[in-house]
Structure 1
Amino acid sequence: MTLSTYSIKDLEQLSGIKAHTLRIWEQRYSLLSPKRTDTNIRYYDDNDLKLILNVALLNDNGYKISKIASMSHEEIREEVVKLTERTLTHDDQIHALTISMIELDEARFDKVVSTNILKIGFEQTMLNIIYPFMSKIGVLWQTGSINPAQEHFISNLVRQKLIVAIDGQVAKSGGKKFLLYLPEGELHEISLLFAAYIIKLKGHRVFYLGQSTPRSDLQIVYDLHRPDFLVTVITTAPSSDLVVDYINDVSNKFSDAQIIISGMQVIGHDFSFPDNVRVLNYIRDIKAYIEEIESPVHSNN
């Protein structure tokens, strides 16, 4: 696999260490060895990124930079493995996941996630570790600093964890019906899967259609099951210039249902939607929303 390349700003964003500090460490301790392009622009590779993530983790846990600089790369890595097995700081776990992504190390990823699930539960692991981790590297995916193989690797591992967690929830009778789907062309499924997990956890029924659902299929499933709620996340499709028309159309076609939407194309925009549309700033707010609709005050309205 071709190595990815990173600017010092990329290293700063992924490690949390200021570019100025990285340059000082580079000059004083020879921690990093930047390469240069044919046009003399400095860049760093996967090995540099892995090293600086490990150094950052040790430094955050009280190791002096002079001590770290005297250690071999293998000694640094061994120390990090020991740390992440005994510490539960969220930032440390996010560092460990980032390293597993760069190395495409499924066993390491699985160990970090599974350990956290055992100790703090699946929901808290998603909210406090997986989501911040994916947000942290999201910008680098979009700018091409992290290659598609690394993106797919992580997304699919998180997706697998979510599906297992969803399957572990036993459906109860008497709950509300939720139809979950992504619009045509929309493939970012992690948030929708997390919503499915929370909805099932709260004892409601989930009809899950997943990625890129044609409107005709949506209509068929709606007519068959008559769900109380439709839930969707709009990250890239439809685009911002088409999203209002799309949501208005869905609101009109499924006027008897409450439409719950989230995602980058709707959050933070001053859009006006029909009364049966509710925008959640974060899809993780679905839990609070369900508790709201289950409350006695809401039931009596």
Structure 2
Amino acid sequence: MSTYSIRDLEQLSGIKAHTLRIWEQRYAILSPDRTDTNIRTYGDDDLKRVLNISLLKDHGYKISEIAKLSSDELNREVVKISERQLNYPDQIHALTISMLDLSEERFEKIISANIAQSGFENTMVNIIYPFLSRIGTLWVTGSIGPAQEHFITNLIRQKIIVAIDGLRGTPDKPGKTYMLFLPEGEFHEISLLFAHYIIRSRSNKVIYLGQNLPLNELVFAHQIHQPDYIFTVLTSVPANHEVQPFVNRMAKAFPNSQILLTGYQVVGQDIETPGNTAIINQINELMRISSN
């Protein structure tokens, strides 16, 4: 069972901590434990209840009415709303609950309905990416365990792979050639897979080398394919002090290719980019480049 602070509940639900305390005192909608120093702590059931309450409030329910509902009644009301077309924050709340419950069925229902209505790319940009950002917050605060994080990210990974497989084969005259990889020690593959989808869907050729690739192997593959672009995501490696040397080494090793970098280690950081290197700050920048 995970443990959350009231600030965690505020960040994940959008309901202010002050409001949660008032509801707790007035309606007893939450049942926190307390530490030896009298600090409130909350469990998975409290988080799911707050997320469900947030969803009902956004759809016109009054807190005084919600407080009278049992857990089963609350869940039934949420299911009724979920059968309608939800807005993006509602979808993200619903995905968070499916992750906490390890519910593949609920995940599948939410994502399949969105793909059918809005298409795969819009679903990724408007729902999955903000949801992954929420997972990051939960992971950093220790609010979810490895089982929950692995469960949901593997479901997302499967969806992207299916979408890639659903694209038509390489066009007779593809636009550009892109080589995609993650550096040695990097295993966060979802952004790289989605980049694969974006680039392929715009009639380009992709050489996908995947996770944890030593630089000498990238040099070997580059010599064979001579790609126009090299794309990578730097999330956890290299270490902060090694990022600039890594960027410089990439630029020098592949002077005839345009190198595209994204990820936590480069976006918003003070990284100097050599002439054949660019940092992708937002996914729509990659969409624009790969459409040219």
Q: Confirm or deny a common fold (TM above 0.5).
A: yes
1:253 Cα deviation from its structure 2 partner: 1.0
Indicate conservation of the 8 Å contact 1:192/1:283, yes or no. Answer: no
The correspondence for 1:19, drawn from 3, 17, 20, is 17
> Which amino acid letter does the alignment assign opposite residue 67 of structure 2?
A
Indicate conservation of the 8 Å contact 2:261/2:278, yes or no. Answer: yes
Which whole-Å deviations, capped at 9, do the CAs of 1:158-182 have from their partners, x for residues lacking one?
1111111111111212221110001
Give the 5 Å matches for 1:100-115.
100-115=98-113
| Rounded Cα–Cα distance in structure 2 between residues aligned with 1:285 and 1:173 | 25
Partner secondary structure for residue 213 of structure 1: coil
Report the equivalent of 2:171: 172
Which whole-Å deviations, capped at 9, do the CAs of 1:1-57 have from their partners, x for residues lacking one?
xx0000000111111100011111111111000012345432100011111111110
| Rounded Cα–Cα distance in structure 1 between residues aligned with 2:60 and 2:146 | 34
* 197-206 vs 281-290, greater mean Cα deviation: 281-290
| Rounded Cα–Cα distance in structure 2 between residues aligned with 1:271 and 1:202 | 29
1:132 Cα deviation from its structure 2 partner: 0.9
Partner secondary structure for residue 137 of structure 1: helix
1:250 Cα deviation from its structure 2 partner: 1.1
1:71 Cα deviation from its structure 2 partner: 1.0
Report the equivalent of 1:155: 153
| Rounded Cα–Cα distance in structure 2 between residues aligned with 1:120 and 1:106 | 21
| Rounded Cα–Cα distance in structure 2 between residues aligned with 1:136 and 1:263 | 16
Report the equivalent of 1:200: 200
Which whole-Å deviations, capped at 9, do the CAs of 1:84-119 have from their partners, x for residues lacking one?
221231111111001101111111011101100001
Report the equivalent of 2:246: 246
1:267 Cα deviation from its structure 2 partner: 1.1
| Rounded Cα–Cα distance in structure 1 between residues aligned with 2:86 and 2:39 | 38
| CA-based RMSD | 1.2
2:53 is aligned with 1:34:
no
> Which amino acid letter does the alignment assign opposite residue 60 of structure 2?
G
Which whole-Å deviations, capped at 9, do the CAs of 1:210-258 have from their partners, x for residues lacking one?
1111112211211121111100011110022101111111111111111
| Rounded Cα–Cα distance in structure 1 between residues aligned with 2:254 and 2:283 | 21
| Rounded Cα–Cα distance in structure 1 between residues aligned with 2:39 and 2:163 | 46
* 36-45 vs 217-226, greater mean Cα deviation: 36-45
Partner secondary structure for residue 86 of structure 1: coil
Report the equivalent of 2:236: 236
Report the equivalent of 1:142: 140
Partner secondary structure for residue 241 of structure 2: coil
Q: Could you tell me which runs of 5 or more consecutive residues in structure 1 were left unpaired when the two chains were aligned.
A: 295-301
1:285 Cα deviation from its structure 2 partner: 2.4
| Rounded Cα–Cα distance in structure 2 between residues aligned with 1:81 and 1:225 | 51
Report the equivalent of 1:299: none
Report the equivalent of 2:281: 281
Which whole-Å deviations, capped at 9, do the CAs of 1:265-289 have from their partners, x for residues lacking one?
1111222121110111124421012
Report the equivalent of 1:265: 265
Which whole-Å deviations, capped at 9, do the CAs of 1:147-197 have from their partners, x for residues lacking one?
111111111111111111111111212221110001111111111111100
Report the equivalent of 2:255: 255
Report the equivalent of 2:84: 86
Partner secondary structure for residue 187 of structure 1: coil
| Rounded Cα–Cα distance in structure 2 between residues aligned with 1:199 and 1:288 | 10
Partner secondary structure for residue 114 of structure 2: helix
> Which amino acid letter does the alignment assign opposite residue 243 of structure 1?
V
* 42-51 vs 166-175, greater mean Cα deviation: 166-175
1:65 Cα deviation from its structure 2 partner: 0.7
The correspondence for 2:6, drawn from 4, 8, 29, is 8
TM-score, reference length from structure 2: 0.96
Partner secondary structure for residue 281 of structure 2: coil
| Rounded Cα–Cα distance in structure 2 between residues aligned with 1:223 and 1:174 | 21
| Rounded Cα–Cα distance in structure 1 between residues aligned with 2:252 and 2:111 | 41
Distance 1:149 1:284, change over 3 A: farther
| Rounded Cα–Cα distance in structure 2 between residues aligned with 1:88 and 1:44 | 27
Indicate conservation of the 8 Å contact 2:204/2:290, yes or no. Answer: no
Aligned sequence identity (%): 56
| Rounded Cα–Cα distance in structure 1 between residues aligned with 2:158 and 2:79 | 24
